[in-house]
Amino acid sequence: MRTYQSHPPLRCHIDAHHANSRSHTLGRFGTGTPSIRLPSREFGRQEKCFVEDRAARYLSTQHKELLVKSKGTATWNGDLFNGSGTASLDSGAAGPLPVSWASRTEAAKGKTSPEELIAAAHAACYSMAFSNILAEAGHVATQLDTSGVATFAKTDAGMRITTMALSVVGQVPGIDAETFAKLAEDAKNGCPVSNALVGNVEITLESSLV
């Protein structure tokens, strides 16, 4: 479901808190709406920022705020340990997917788990963020293969997702390994799913260029 709201033209400024980071902040679209941080090759205390990705240019020219709500559903039958259920995507792209406690804590056996779904979502989100940062830096990726591994563990506070290990292998013409690794890290920090998990889940990244 997509909801659009009209606002005055986009204003671009540098967030002072992130003045020395490799990211820029787009001005607020309207009262009560959050700032949107997008990666940029240039950083520091500057009067302007450069936004080259298509999504931001669309918002700027249309003077609209983009709000997208994505829905997932689940059905569960029985108790936690002996019961079972399904998870579905409202888009119809997948599901119903079978889930069980055993698929989370023992062996998948053809069933999925919330952790696997989050890992896949993180891998997809990261790939998108990285492709945008690469393109912004003048390097369009031929292919990015990303995996996410979520660790589900018992802690003193109870069962928790404790770590998310991202790994990306990229085919990117004309880029050196050092630049690739630096931009890969920037993408990890800018990915929306990373930002949803940060502070609660330790996120690590391995990157390699082929």
Report the pLDDT value the prediction gives residue 65, as an integer from 0 to 100.
72
Q: What is the pLDDT of residues 50-65, one digit of tens each?
A: 333 444 554 454 445 7
Report the pLDDT value the prediction gives residue 46, as an integer from 0 to 100.
37
pTM attached to this predicted model? 0.71
| Domains within the chain, CATH numbers bracketed | 2-68 (no CATH), 72-112 (no CATH), 113-210 (3.30.300.20)
Q: What is the pLDDT of residues 9-47, one digit of tens each?
A: 333 433 434 433 433 333 333 333 343 444 444 443 333
| Number of C-beta neighbours around residue 156 at 10 A | 5
Per-residue pLDDT of the chain (210 residues; tens, 9 = 90+): 444 343 433 334 334 344 334 333 333 333 333 434 444 444 433 333 433 344 455 445 444 578 999 999 999 999 999 999 999 999 999 989 999 999 999 999 999 999 999 999 999 999 999 999 999 999 999 999 999 999 999 999 999 999 999 999 999 999 999 999 999 999 999 999 999 999 999 999 999 999
Report the pLDDT value the prediction gives residue 66, as an integer from 0 to 100.
81
The dihedral region occupied by 44, where left means phi > 0, alpha psi between -120 and 50, and beta the remainder, is left
